[in-house]
Structure 1
Amino acid sequence: MAQRHDHPGEKAAADPFRLLAIRDEPLSVDEVFTAVGDPSSGGTALFVGTVRDHDGGADVTRLGYSAHPTAEAELRRVAEKTAADFPVRALAAVHRVGELAIGDLAVVAAVSCPHRAEAFAACRRFVDDLKREVPIWKHQIFADGTEEWVGV
């Protein structure tokens, strides 16, 4: 795929990947946001995914995330794909695994680019691809005692 840059001469940074991790401890928005600070960036887009109390009309009481051993490598591959298509100056993302409560942070991702439109587009694409391609699975437990695996 050809690089899509809205402004001539702008390219992705040589090594824009500041933080890419799968963790079993609480996540920090500040850590991810700070990691993508870049003086040549005019726009930073930040995505925070939290555990909600429902899904498809059913009440969720808790959930857990599991990851394949290749998840961090796949996370980097998705980041590289994003940087190939957008002028990413810096990118950081952390996904949580283990048991999470309602309201806990499940994923924090941020992308900085020279301009805001690029940052929004790159962050959205990165998060969408992460959800679709990185082998992380969600196990939801519902209030009625049923459960569901998502992403398997």
Structure 2
Amino acid sequence: MSGLDALYQEVILDHAKRRTGEGLAAPAPGHAVGESHQYNPTCGDEITVRVELATGPENGEPVERLSWEGEGCSISMAAASVLAETAPGLTRAELLGLIGAFRELLRSRGTVEPDEELLGDAAAFAGVSRFAARVKCAMLGWVAAEESLGRAV
């Protein structure tokens, strides 16, 4: 295992243990909220993601908070934790772009180098892309966030 692979594995294990954003948070009054529940029938992982956006044209609808609750493997829980840590402060468009970049990385089967500047800790999931059965695990919370953004009103 290369030094970078070991570092990435450490990031995933750390997020699987400390789980940033775990527990669905009550949204603040006046904020736009969207929620989505996703289930992976292949392995039984499931997650509910709640996205809370500050509303108003002056602030471009930044993500105030992304919270979640779920059960599953360390990959799906760590991916949700990374997302919850990364999302606050991003606009809706920026978060959708991040989700798209993460999806592209995971669908690459290891042929795309992660853009650490864009992805941050999510770049740690580059190795997961080589294991088709684990891609759905890593994407589960991110798909829920994408759907939550579409539902946020």
Q: What TM-score results when the alignment is normalised by the length of structure 2?
A: 0.30
Q: Answer 1 or 2: which has greater helix percent.
A: 2
Which gives a bigger RCO, structure 1 or 2 (Cα 8 Å, sep 6+)? 1
Larger radius of gyration: 1
TM-score (norm 1): 0.30
